[in-house]
Structure 1
Amino acid sequence: MAIPVVEEVLDEEPGDDEESGGQRKYKVPVSRIIPLPKPNDPSSTQDFSLGSYVLAVYPGTTALYKATVVNSRKRKTDDYLLEFDDDEEDGAMPQRTVRFIHVVPLPEGHRQ
């Protein structure tokens, strides 16, 4: 019987419902961890096309949310233009700029 490899992950911003009020550590199987792209090597990261579903760090947070690529990565800035699910403002879906290092593929089984 194989023993799963586990990594300890630190939650920088626990939710409002957390009683401890501070950072929390979780043990997560390595197979469930999605590494973020390396900031010093944009050419080696995956390019996502228009309409692709991704996970991205919502601006101003450390949390990953499902988003749709509205505009592919621009080489000059290495930014994507994304629409985050359930991110409605005044009846419209705002488009948010996110650096490539904060965008990863949506895991299989989470697509709609």
Structure 2
Amino acid sequence: MSKADRVQVICLGLSALDQIWRVDRLFAGRSEKIKAAGYGTLGGGMAANAAVTVARLGAAVAFWGRAGNDAAGQEMRSAFGAEGIDVENFRLFPDGRSSVSGIIVDSSGERQIVNFR
């Protein structure tokens, strides 16, 4: 399939940087410490996840959105580029703050999320 024959998609919306901890169980609602079985940093947000999925399926994809010109914004921009996603209209604003989430996921897939925008 030539580049001209590829489906072209624009994904417009939220991009977040997700920090994910995998645990055996979620917090019980009081002060406690839980040891993580795993940790990872991934891109998140519905439009951003859609852009990555569509790119991996072979379409030409552009992501249109905004974030802060901070470490999280730079990391998201770099991750899009690594997936072959056009980021010309993913704007990073000097005084902006990127959306970042802390996500705790238990062994059954239930989760607790803290988001900062």
Q: TM-score, normalised by structure 1?
A: 0.23
Relative contact order, higher structure (CA 8 A, sep 6+): 2
Structure (1 or 2) with the greater helix fraction: 2
Q: TM-score, normalised by structure 2?
A: 0.23
